[in-house]
């Protein structure tokens, strides 16, 4: 897309953190943004903050674990704002700990958020985008979607699924005028770990090599990815460089990470 002014966007998980930053960045480009998350009060606060900056934002509370509720919310958004030009699949959840000590809910939640709702949300917007030969879908992941990180198997698997979804949709839709961008930021200062009972100590020591990003940096990167119709956006550059080296010979790099003591977590493993 060359110009985002007066476009309509849906951003999931938009009440705080990365989602709120993405919604704000889009709104500052003249996009009418529909904010979706579970808690109406937090959404209304985020929407008002965007309006105070001169942007256009409307809150739509929805339990994103329920696909039928999402479809109803989607219909309400279209009635209120018009056809959707941009979908940002940002919402996500998941904890970090070995599989055998995760609860059933902890093991299943990352499959529903982000992957399950991303499939449903994409399915809802694609027909209208195809009819207009225009639109853009953005899928957020973490480095766990590119590295087979241990001690967070469901979280990692769902992010791998998001990579497959994004790349597959790119091949399916790009020649029909619809952009699809996969966005992978490193660790972002959002409070995710506290909200999701996710213990960063189970994360590989490799993560400490990279600088912590601010949500606004991710928001700006998403806008750039849409405007420049990028297939992938990885930040910071240091992470992108490591991923480019890792991809051709993954097992070699895993052995190297292990040799340097970067692959394991900070916690002692029983």
pLDDT in tens, 20-43: 999 999 999 999 999 999 999 999
3 belongs to a structural domain: no
Q: What is the pTM of this model?
A: 0.95
Output the pLDDT for position 195. 64
Q: How far is CA 195 from CA 70, 190, 212, in A?
A: 22, 9, 18
With respect to residue 248, please indicate whether it lies within any of the assigned structural domains. yes
Domain count across the chain: 1
Percent of the chain surpassing pLDDT 90: 88
Contact 9, 73 (CB under 8 A): no
pLDDT value of residue 197: 63
Q: Residue 38, preceding bond cis, omega within 30 degrees?
A: no
| Cβ neighbours for 147, distance < 8 A, ≥ 6 positions apart | 156, 246
pLDDT at 194 over 70: no
Rounded to 10 deg, the angle between the 17-28 and 215-227 helix axes is 50
pLDDT for residue 52 is more than 90: yes
CATH number of the domain bearing residue 91: 3.40.50.720
Q: Is residue 268 part of a domain?
A: no
Residue in 92, 97, 138 with CA at minimum distance from that of residue 115: 92
Arithmetic mean of pLDDT over the chain: 94
| 264 part of a folded domain | no
Query: In whole angstroms, how far apart are CA 214 and each of 29, 172, 210, 220?
Result: 19, 32, 13, 10
Please write the tens of the pLDDT for every residue from 202-247.
Answer: 888 888 889 999 999 999 999 999 999 999 999 999 999 999 999 9
Domain that holds residue 23: 8-259
Residue 53 lies in a domain: yes
Spatial distance between the Cα atoms of 232 and 124, rounded to a whole number of angstroms: 22
Give the N- to C-terminal CA distance of the chain in Å, as an integer.
51
pLDDT of residue 270: 58
Q: Is residue 105 part of a domain?
A: yes
Average pLDDT rounded to a whole number, residues 241-254:
95
Give domain status of residue 57, yes or no.
Answer: yes
Whether residue 267 is contained in a domain is answered as no
More confident of the two residues 220 and 94: 220
């Amino acid at each position: 897309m060359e110009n985002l002014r007066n476009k309509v966007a849906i951003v999931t998980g938009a009440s705080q953190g990365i989602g709120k930053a993405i919604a704000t960045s889009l709104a500052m480009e003249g996009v009418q943004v529909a904010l979706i998350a579970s808690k109406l009060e937090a959404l209304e606060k985020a929407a008002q903050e965007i309006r105070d900056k001169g942007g256009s934002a409307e809150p739509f509370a929805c339990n994103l674990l329920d696909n039928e509720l999402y479809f109803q919310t989607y219909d309400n958004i279209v009635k209120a704002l018009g056809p959707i030009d941009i979908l940002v699949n940002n919402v996500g959840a998941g904890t970090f700990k070995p599989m055998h000590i995760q609860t059933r809910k902890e093991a299943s939640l990352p499959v529903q958020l982000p992957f399950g709702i991303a499939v449903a949300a994409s399915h809802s917007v694609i027909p209208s985008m195809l009819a207009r030969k225009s639109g853009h879908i953005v899928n957020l992941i973490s480095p766990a979607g590119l590295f087979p990180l241990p001690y967070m198997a469901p979280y990692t698997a769902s992010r791998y699924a998001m990579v497959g979804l994004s790349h597959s949709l790119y091949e399916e839709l790009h020649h029909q005028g619809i952009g699809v961008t996969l966005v992978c930021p490193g660790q972002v200062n959002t409070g995710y770990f506290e909200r999701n009972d996710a213990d960063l100590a189970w994360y590989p020591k490799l993560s400490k090599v990279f600088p912590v990003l601010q949500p606004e940096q991710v928001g700006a990167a998403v806008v750039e990815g849409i405007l420049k119709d990028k297939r992938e956006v990885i930040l910071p550059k240091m992470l992108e460089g490591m991923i480019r080296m890792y991809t051709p010979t993954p097992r070699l790099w895993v052995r190297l990470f292990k040799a340097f003591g970067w692959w394991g977590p900070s916690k002692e493993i029983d």
